[in-house]
Amino acid sequence: MMALYAQFWFTKILGLGHGLWVPLLIVVLLAIPSASGLFQSYLILWSGLIAVSLVFDGIDVWTYFTS
C-alpha cells in the first residue's frame, strides 16, 4: 500500500492494495460453516463489510484504468 501511495499519491489506484483481502475473504467464508455462536456472527459481519469495501475498491480501480 505504501509503495502504491509513494508512486501514485492519493488516487483511485490505491484500491489495488486491498487485493490481498480477496484470498482472506475466501478463507473466512470457508470458515463460517465450522464456526458457531457469536464468532460465526462476527465472521458473517466481517465478510459482508469486506465484500462491500472490495466492491468500492473495484469500482475505483476500474474508473482509474478506464478514464
Write out pLDDT tens, residues 16-44: 778 889 999 999 999 999 999 999 999 99
Tally Cβ neighbours within 10 Å of residue 15.
20
- Name the phi and psi angles at 14, rounded to 5: -60, -15
Cβ–Cβ under 8 Å, residues 16 and 4? yes
How large is the greatest C-alpha to C-alpha distance in the chain, in angstroms?
46
Q: What global pTM score does this model have?
A: 0.74
The number of folded domains in the chain is 1
pLDDT band at 4 (very low <50, low <70, confident <90, very high): low
Residue 19, domain extent: 2-66
Alpha-carbon distance of 21 to 53, in angstroms, equals 10
Cβ–Cβ under 8 Å, residues 46 and 25? no
